[in-house]
Chain A
Amino acid sequence: MNAGDYHHLSLLKKGRQQGLRYFMQRHMRALTYFAQNLVNDTAVAEEIVQDCFVKVWESRERFVSIENIKAFLYIATRNACINHLNASATKRQAQSEELSEGLPIPDNDILTRMIHAETITRIHAELDRLPPQQATVFRLSYFEGFTTDEICRTLGISNNAVFLARSRATQALRLIFKGKGLPYLLFIFFIF
């Protein structure tokens, strides 16, 4: 636990919202993604995660380490997701007698799901580090599968008015998504 963690944990325990904000900043993105993967409903995932942070606040006196808080958050979120799924499964059962859709979630799954969420969060942080144009180009080429020409047309620029450069953040992404090719396209800056 580093000095910043300790400081914010003690702020939280003293009832200062600044402490809570610190932990939201650290965990809310991964946690919402984790919940979204379980319930497959963004609005529900958001609500569950918000409630879990409120629970952290209400139980703030109990925590002795930041690992405590993280474990609490993931367990509480997972439980809330399961409750939501069970509730909606019951509802569906009552409504249409369809049984097959209830999703059983194995218990040892939580840790791997947490690691998954955190790994994806870390990869996405690299994307966040790109300047806006580069991030846009990354999204269009990787997520949407656009070609150079399509990207140029989408962004309304001519093909030969292209300038690109590669920085450390882009290199990290290149290493992660190496198989996709299009090395130049990745990191384009446009003149407009």
Chain B
Amino acid sequence: MPLPEDIPTLILKKLQERITPEEASRLEAWVAADPANHALLDRLLDEEALMADTKTFDELWGSGNGVARFDRMEEAVLAKTAATMAKFGRPWLRYVAAAAIMPLMITAWLLLDHHMRSSVDQTLVAAQIADIPPGRNRAMLTLPDGQTVTLDESQHGILVSDTLRYADGSEVLSAAGKYPSSDISESMVISVPRGGQYQITLSDGTNIWLNAESTLRYPSKFGAGDRVVTFEGEGYFVVAHDSNRPFKIVNQRQTIEVLGTAFNFSAYPDESEARTTLVAGKVLVNYGNSLNREYIPLVLSPGQQAVVNGSSGRVETVDTGAFTAWKDGFFYFDGDSPESAFAQLGRWYDLELVYPHKIPNVEFYGKIERNKSLGAILKILEKAGLEFQVIPREAGYQLIINSEK
């Protein structure tokens, strides 16, 4: 019987729509040669039938069941052929050989088994080392006189009014007189380190969630004109509506102008793209050359995102939930590249990221709670075929991301 060339390969390529014209004509020739071939190709290209056939195959060979079946069948064949083998030559020699080999095989098996187990143990140890806690409520306040105050980690936010209070109403500054008096406006800075998050309500009622590694400079009191803050990092802004006093966020790369609205603003200096994602209201993003003040405006409607990269900007329609999930305590990946996903992890767990090989070619989807330890997160990512090493550094940890297994 003549065996055909590798038709299954051609069919697979056709199914995946990556068949070359030359291969397609070879497949066509094969189809034309026999009506049975034609019928077969039709069957394989029918997705319902293909699914049913794959399911039948899977019932035979899928998962643990299939492994057991294969072992059983192989054993049966080996038992029968071993008996045949003993019929030839000197049977006693075979038995002696078998008897001599058995302990060897068992030793080899034990060695192999032990080797595999110990590599598993190493992964577990690595996971324990990697049991780095997630970020928490952390922030530092810089007063107009340059004095710094570490904010209470048991509190989640502060409220700016005549005095400065925590969300539960307690005073932030115990010693009186440090805080600017209510009739002058002075510049204050709240900064959240890597591995931190904090919330602030400004004097106008605007609420801002600050993500890790973010800095907000704001006035202790807004005047009659525009409400202006400067910001770097990532924040979710719910701006109090005031049509007479537009709210402006000034950033190295752009200025965001709003009246009253909710949006997420992400502009990390180490990321090439800055994103403004509008949840509700209306936002004007001005980007461009700040030197000669040649700004280009982008107007956003809810569900839209402005992406600014250097001197270019564009508007995209997005699932805003993916960009605001962090403030509700989630990582939310929606086709994120490893760079983007790991940058988020790096900021939250305070990790230095190292890619010794090329960056793995995967996309991330899904939602993970941010309150998990790093070990738990890495365990999940390991199931995606990624390998990690965590190395303690003087401050924090280094996460080495190896390519796909």
Contact = CB atoms under 8 A, between A and B. Distances in A.
Contacts of B53: 116, 120
Nearest to B64: A132
Interface size class of A (residues with CB under 8 A): 35 or more
A180 B47 contact: yes
Contacts of B7: 115, 119
B178 interface: no
B88 A118 contact: no
Contacts, number: 184
Given A163-B368, A175-B16, A168 B404 contact: yes
Contacts of B88: 15
A42 B57 contact: no
Contacts of B78: 17, 20-21
B322 interface: no
B82 interface: yes
B73 A32 contact: yes
Interface stretch (B193-201, B241-249, B357-365): B357-365
B168 interface: no
Contacts of B36: 106, 108-109, 111-112
A176 B9 CA distance: 13
Contacts of A124: 54, 57-58, 61-62
B383 interface: yes
Nearest to A52: B77
B74 interface: yes
A155 interface: no
A67 B316 CA distance: 56
Interface stretch (A3-11, A94-102, A135-143): A135-143
A120 B57 contact: yes
A189 B383 contact: yes
Interface size class of B (residues with CB under 8 A): 35 or more
Nearest to A175: B16
A165 B199 CA distance: 31
Nearest to B85: A15
B70 interface: yes
A93 interface: no
Given A54-B84, A163-B380, A175-B15, 17 more contacts: A15-B88, A17-B85, A21-B74, A46-B73, A54-B77, A67-B3, A70-B3, A115-B7, A123-B50, A133-B383, A139-B62, A161-B369, A163-B364, A163-B367, A163-B368, A172-B16, A191-B368
Interface of A: 15, 17, 20-21, 24, 28-29, 32-33, 36-37, 42, 46, 49-50, 53-54, 57-58, 67, 70-71, 75, 106, 108-112, 115-116, 118-124, 127-128, 131-135, 139, 142-143, 160-168, 172, 175-180, 184, 187-189, 191
Interface of B: 1, 3-4, 7-9, 11-12, 15-18, 34, 36-37, 39-40, 43-44, 47, 50-51, 53-58, 60-63, 66, 69-70, 72-74, 76-78, 80-82, 84-85, 88, 330, 333, 361-369, 372, 376, 380-381, 383-385, 404
